[in-house]
Structure 1
Amino acid sequence: MKKVPSIELENRMKRFREHMDISNPEWEIAIVFSKINLYYFTGTMQDGMLIIPRNDDATFWVRRSYERTLDESLFEKIEYMNSFRDAAKKEDNLPDTVYLETEAVPLALYQRFQKHFPFKNFKPLDTGIAAVRAVKSKYELSLMRKSGKIHQYVLEDIAPEILQEGMSEADLAAELFKIMINEGHHGVTRFGMFDTEIVVGHVGFGESSLYPTYFDGASGNYGLSSAAPILGSRDRKLKKGDLIFIDIGCGVDGYNTDKTMTYMFGSSLPQYAIDAHNKCVEIQDEIAGLLKPGHIPSEIYTTIMNDLDNEFLENFMGFGKRRVKFLGHGIGLLIDELPVIAERFDEPLKENMVFAVEPKKGIKDIGMVGIENTFIVTPQGGECITGNSHGLIPVF
């Protein structure tokens, strides 16, 4: 069993405390409930809570499974609780104000917790943890590099070989998922966006990749049904002349990469579609060159967008009225992490932040062209860890 090293957990807690001391100098205690953040700080994803006092050791209180926690976690202080009442008996001197994950804690959980821990006020903890998680350690980067190699191999080398006329979008998505699992993918694509469900990503043939969804991304697809608008359609079959759009996540031991590849099946696309795709690749490369410590995400976004003419901007980063207002996003334990290459993200980039950069453009009756790869911020610019292909791979 692979365990997150104890020194890794210690460094994460140290960086979190340092960040809180600077950003919230009045803080006295933070409580973590969400499984993603629990995993980040403890190395296991169990049902419990992590209490982090400012001037004392943090305690991981576990409801289920305490036994598994002991097997998986090298966190120093782990206690069992049957309910919050058990933890409350040992946790005294609770301050009036508690820092909580307001984006993740539902009201019912909040009320149950406050019944036994009667604090008066709460403040948000989400951006503080997100800022710490945004800068990856060598350990985290090593896992993301492994994920990137799987991504590259499956989408650049294997996908063209398994495309067959008459297969459905769902067939292709399921086959890609199986292959990635066999190559080491951890099997889940996690998002922080509220109530978002996804299996592996978006797989679309032709105009399907333009179909509107609630998903906060440039592309879409028909999905399996209105009750499950995910994966791909069972009914949309691959035919000659189709543009194939694949935007899927991959991950190793919790850490994700994001990648989009496109393919021309049976024949070439019209030249105007190829030109639009190539422009998206140029934009990706330009953004990658700006992914250096000290550069400002909002300025990167403005620089790129101001350089595009009105004709290209039509259906850029979406289609019709459904367009997104970003060019890339942080990535790590979640696909959609902070910061974002968009307006109002004004904090300078730091070395070893990781971004998925995804310029895309919808083209009527053809589908979504463009590209996406995952980059590490370095002093030399973004280091791509998900492959080198420019997409529109011909499969004739």
Structure 2
Amino acid sequence: MNERMSRLIGQMAQQSVQTSIITDPKHVYYLSGFRSEPHERLLALIVDADGKSKLLVPELDRAGAEADAAVDAIESHRDTDNAYKILGAMLGKNANGEVGVEKDKLTVTQYEKITAFLPDASLTGIDQVLLAMRAVKSADEIDRIRHAVKLVEQVLRETLPLVKAGVTELELAADIDYRMRRIGAEGPSFDTTVLAGEKSALPHGTPGTRQVQAGELLLFDMGVYAEGYVSDITRTFAVGDISDELKTVYETVLRANELGIAALKAGVPMAQADLAARQHIESRGFGDRFTHRLGHGIGLDIHEYPSLHGGNHDILQPGMTVTVEPGIYIPGVGGVRIEDDVLITGHGPETLTTFPKQFTVIAG
């Protein structure tokens, strides 16, 4: 039994959970080492309180599971089978009492199909147990995140010389996605964002046919998925000369980014980092233009626990990896966001992203 399985079983015992059914592919990978995307087919890892583990996979994934999964037994199902009936048979006598499931991940349809074969079970959410486990990264996980950071920064570095007046947001985004795969990433960890001019004031804007022009801002928000883990970086540049107002916005966001990172100390409430950045932005008169939390956890997913916002008083722990991404957005004018990936250590924060953050003019 691996260490992660052992930890899960210990938490199950505290909740009197007899068995757990893990269906999120990311959690199956995290616990068993088997990585796949089953799409609409059922993938399920069964972990019993006595330490036994079984994996149910689609037949087309069986060979991969047999090669990679650290479990006691593997079963498979074909497209003509009732996969949930097979799951029920695998559970057997452990289908009574408390059964742990990921309530945040199950669809209503999946819930109904599972409970149809577990009439005597009471389903208990184990989502928070798994998220808390994932929040503190191992040395291997941190190395994978470092690798993903290195790749995305290389792509950004290669992309900047392509910026010129007349190129569209979509053209730049497409080139970024191509370069990610060309240098060894599995692809983007989220939809690549390139926003020019007034569109940079949209925190969740979508690249389109808007052309880059001189005298405005250009924002890149991008990350890669590599070796199972993600990176996430945002940099904002000036295309030629920009207004003094936008330069002030940039310097304010940069300082907020630095203050937010400095506040990420093990043993302190997560809210402190958000407040450190937010109070600086408010002091410069832009408080109502910082419209989102300071950051979020990264790891197997691009957004995972913890959430860095002013109301979160959970305690930062060594091994957590988070983003710090303050922003100021002025509708119709433009916006600035600067985002770094940061590792919490016992000696203070370590910024994993190294791409320069000082105000930079590109093209023109």
1:30 to 20, 23, 36: 20
- After superposition, residues 287-306 of structure 1 pair within 5 angstroms as 287-306=260-279
Secondary structure of the residue aligned to 1:239 is: coil
Q: Which residue of 1 aligns with 2:65?
A: 69
Give the AA of the match of 1:371. Answer: I
Q: Which moved more, 1:384-393 or 1:256-265?
A: 384-393
Superposition deviation, residue 278 in structure 1 = 1.6
Superposition deviation, residue 339 in structure 1 = 0.8
Query: What TM-score, normalized by structure 2, do the two folds share?
Result: 0.90
| Offset from partner CA, 1:217-249 (integer Å, 9 cap, x none) | xx132x3xxxxxxxx10x211121221101112
Unaligned runs of 5+ in 2: none
Superposition deviation, residue 261 in structure 1 = 0.9
Q: Which residue of 1 aligns with 2:333?
A: 366
Secondary structure of the residue aligned to 1:383 is: strand
Taking only the aligned residue pairs, the percentage that are identical comes to 23
Give the AA of the match of 2:266. Answer: P
Compared with structure 1, are the counterparts of its residues 49 and 329 closer, same or farther at alpha carbon in structure 2 (3 Å cutoff)?
Answer: same
Superposition deviation, residue 347 in structure 1 = 2.2
The 2-side partners of 1:119 and 1:292 are apart by 46
Q: Which residue of 2 aligns with 1:184?
A: 184
Superposition deviation, residue 76 in structure 1 = 4.3
Secondary structure of the residue aligned to 1:60 is: strand
CA contact (8 A) 1:243 1:367 kept: yes
1:258 to 220, 223, 232: 232
Unaligned runs of 5+ in 1: 1-8, 190-197, 212-218, 224-231, 317-322
Q: Which residue of 1 aligns with 2:200?
A: 209
Q: Which residue of 2 aligns with 1:286?
A: 259
1:378 to 328, 334, 345: 345
Superposition deviation, residue 306 in structure 1 = 4.1
**Runs of 4+ deviating beyond 4 Å:** none
The 2-side partners of 1:76 and 1:384 are apart by 40
Give the AA of the match of 2:321. Answer: V
Q: How many residue pairs end up in the alignment? A: 351
Give the AA of the match of 2:342. Answer: F
CA RMSD, Structure 1 to Structure 2 (Å): 2.0
CA contact (8 A) 1:288 1:381 kept: no
Q: Which residue of 1 aligns with 2:92?
A: 92
Compared with structure 1, are the counterparts of its residues 76 and 292 closer, same or farther at alpha carbon in structure 2 (3 Å cutoff)?
Answer: farther
Q: Which residue of 1 aligns with 2:170?
A: 170
Secondary structure of the residue aligned to 1:294 is: coil
CA contact (8 A) 2:144 2:227 kept: yes
| Offset from partner CA, 1:259-286 (integer Å, 9 cap, x none) | 0011111x22212212221221222222
Superposition deviation, residue 345 in structure 1 = 2.5
Superposition deviation, residue 40 in structure 1 = 1.4
CA contact (8 A) 2:214 2:241 kept: no
Q: Which residue of 1 aligns with 2:118?
A: 117
- After superposition, residues 1-396 of structure 1 pair within 5 angstroms as 10-21=2-13, 24-43=14-33, 44-45=35-36, 46=38, 47-64=42-59, 65-81=61-77, 82=81, 83-93=83-93, 94-155=95-156, 157-189=157-189, 198-199=190-191, 201-211=192-202, 219-221=203-205, 223=206, 232-233=207-208, 235-265=209-239, 267-307=240-280, 308-309=282-283, 311-316=285-290, 323-324=291-292, 326-396=293-363
Query: What TM-score, normalized by structure 1, do the two folds share?
Result: 0.83
Secondary structure of the residue aligned to 1:92 is: helix
CA contact (8 A) 1:257 1:356 kept: no
